[in-house]
Amino acid sequence: MTHLVCGVDEAGRGPLAGPVYAAAVILDPARPIEGLADSKKLSERKRERLAVEIREKALAFGIASASVEEIDSINILQATLLAMRRAVEALAVQPAAALIDGNRCPSLAIPARAIIGGDATEPAISAASILAKTARDAEMRCIHEAFPQYALDRHKGYDTVAHRAALELHGPAAFHRKSFAPVRALLDVRRKPGS
C-alpha cells in the first residue's frame, strides 16, 4: 500500500474531569464513509453510528488516553500530545505520515503536519475526532455509574452550571483535574481551616 496517512484528533481538552482521549485513523479509499465531519458538529446518535462504521471500514485505528494524573502532572497540552502519540503508536498498520488537528504536533516516528480546523476538512481527522469523542463519552458514562451525583452522563465532565453545582455540593473526586482553576479553587477553600 502506498503512502498511507493517518488522521489524529483529541477529545476532552477542556473538561474539569476525566482523561483526555485521542484517536488515529487510516481510512480505506476503497471503502468510503459518508457523513464524516467534526464530531462537535454531529448529534450524539450520528457520532455513535459513524464510530461503528469507522471501526468496521478503516484500514486501521488506534484510540488512547492520558489520565487525570498525567494531565495534572505535565499539563493538558502535553497530556493531549501524549495521548495523540499513544494513539498513533496503537495503529496496527504503520502510516507514512500523520495529519494532526490543531496547531501542534506530538513527537512521532513519522512526519506529521498540524492542520488548524482539520477535523472539518480532512476526512481521516474527522474520523479520528469521532472515535476519540465517542470513546471518551463512553468512559465518562462508566464513571457516572459509580458517581451519579456529578451527572457526568449529561455534561461529560465539562464546565457547566450543573457540574459546578455538583462540585460545590460534593467536592472534587479522584477523576477531577486538580490543576484546572475551578477545581483547584474548590480544593483550596476546603483546605482552609474552619471551612
Known binding positions for a divalent metal cation: 9-10, 101
Residues in binding site: 9-10, 101
CA dist 79 and 22 (Å) reads: 10
The candidate with the shortest Cα–Cα distance to 127, out of 57, 21, 54, is 54
Q: Helix, strand or coil for residue 159?
A: coil
Fill in the DSSP letter of residue 148: G
CA trace torsion 35, 36, 39, 44 (10° rounding): 40
User: How far lies 58's CA from each of 31, 42, 119, in Å?
Assistant: 8, 19, 16
